[in-house]
Amino acid sequence: MKTESLLTQTKRILRRFDLKSRKRLGQHFLVDEEVLQLIAASAELDPSDTIVEIGPGLGILTGELARRAGLVIAVELDDKLAASLTKTLASFSNINIINQDILRLDPAALLPAPGPYKVVANLPYYITSPVLRHFLEATVKPKRMVVMVQKEVAEAITAGPGQRSMISLSVQFYGKPKIVSYVPARAFYPAPEVNSALLRIEVYPRPLIAVTDDKGFFQLVRSGFTASRKQIANSLAQGLGRPKVEVLALLEKAGIVPQRRAETLTFEEWAQLWQVFTRRKEEK
Ligand code: SAM
């Protein structure tokens, strides 16, 4: 017997519950069987795993994850989708559906017991950066994230020295990102206007460099990118709202040539600058 294609299955569930894809919520459902298997395989699941899935949608990926993992906690914002999921996934005893905005939930509070977990999701693209930050900056971080994102965002996140931006620094500070595969728009229904990429982030047990105040550190980095592609001295002066002479003195102490651009600084150089910057505040 030929099994139903994911596209047919998707259209059937939409009809059954009288649902329409809501673009505003980034609803583009995965209809490619190979990509579905690739997502699940990249997460390397076994029955000891707890998974947090963001935006289960019609539940097709959710079911695949539940077949391989111990527990799937699936957080869906759309009320109608969440209600339909309780019916379509009723045969699974290891799926917990939560009808909420993922950004309003503390990841630690989602877990039934403290312990390791993985995040797997075909993300709603309009909240990609906030979702990544939400999990990577959380007190209880996942050990791995396997997420579908827009192709250009995946490339920006994995960029190396010389091409780094706020998003690559803020992800690479917490983990090692890698593009698993590019995914064409036709793998989704309805097809989005952009192409996608599957991204896997191995989260470090501790951030790449030791800073006592992550938030403050990233405020400084963000200031460095205020006028991106400009010399770091000008960009920092503008971003921090400090006189240029003061910024030049800080850069000299940190051993950073003021003509450099923020994109070219290494993590170690940002850490050095942060040390000089905090010491200056303590001296005041
Ligand atoms: N997982 C399904 C799949 O692969 O076909 C659906 C993926 S679709 C790209 C994104 C899903 O995220 C949608 O179901 C959407 O309703 C949901 N979503 C959007 N914003 C959300 C939020 N803030 N919190 C939780 N879910 C959200």
Window from 9-13, 137-141, 207-211 with minimum mean pLDDT: 207-211
Asked if residue 263 has its Cβ within 6 Å of ligand 1, the reply is no
Please state the rounded mean pLDDT for residues 238-264: 94
Strand pairing of 50-54 and 118-122?
A: parallel
Asked if residue 191 has its Cβ within 6 Å of ligand 1, the reply is no
**Which residue's entry shows tokens 């299955």?**
9
Q: What is the pLDDT of residue 213?
A: 86
**Tokens standing for residue 77:** 């914002």
Phi, psi of 147 (to 5 degrees): -135, 140
pLDDT confidence band for 282 (50 / 70 / 90): low
Window from 69-78, 86-95, 258-267 with minimum mean pLDDT: 258-267
Phi, psi of 31 (to 5 degrees): -125, 15
* Residue 92 buriedness (CB in 10 A; 0-12 / 13-18 / 19+): middle
Q: What is the pLDDT of residue 4?
A: 85
* Model pLDDT for residues 208-250, shown as the tens digit of each residue: 888 888 888 998 999 999 876 789 999 999 999 999 999 999 9
Pocket test for ligand 1, best of 76, 95, 127 (most atoms within 8 A of CB): 76
Asked if residue 39 has its Cβ within 6 Å of ligand 1, the reply is no
Q: For the chain, list the domains and their CATH numbers.
A: 6-203 (3.40.50.150), 214-283 (1.10.8.100)
Provide the sign of the torsion angle of the four alpha carbons 143, 147, 150, 154, taken in this order.
positive
Q: What is the pLDDT of residue 98?
A: 98
Position 105, amino acid: L
Please state the rounded mean pLDDT for residues 189-199: 97
**From the CA of 177, how far away is ligand 1's center (Å)?**
22
Asked if residue 55 has its Cβ within 6 Å of ligand 1, the reply is yes
Pocket test for ligand 1, best of 6, 62, 78, 105 (most atoms within 8 A of CB): 78
Please state the rounded mean pLDDT for residues 125-154: 97
Asked if residue 61 has its Cβ within 6 Å of ligand 1, the reply is yes
* Model pLDDT for residues 141-175, shown as the tens digit of each residue: 999 999 999 999 999 999 998 888 999 999 999 99
**From the CA of 17, how far away is ligand 1's center (Å)?**
17
* Model pLDDT for residues 38-56, shown as the tens digit of each residue: 999 999 999 999 999 999 9
Q: What is the pLDDT of residue 162?
A: 86
* Model pLDDT for residues 101-118, shown as the tens digit of each residue: 999 999 999 999 989 999
Percent of the residues in the chain that have a pLDDT greater than 70, as a whole number: 98
Residue 135 neighbours by CB under 8 Å, 6+ apart: 107, 119, 141, 142, 145
pTM of the model: 0.94
Pocket test for ligand 1, best of 7, 9, 27 (most atoms within 8 A of CB): 27
Q: What is the pLDDT of residue 283?
A: 67
**Which residue's entry shows tokens 């209600």?**
83
Asked if residue 78 has its Cβ within 6 Å of ligand 1, the reply is yes
Please state the rounded mean pLDDT for residues 114-134: 96
d(CA 103, CA 106): 8
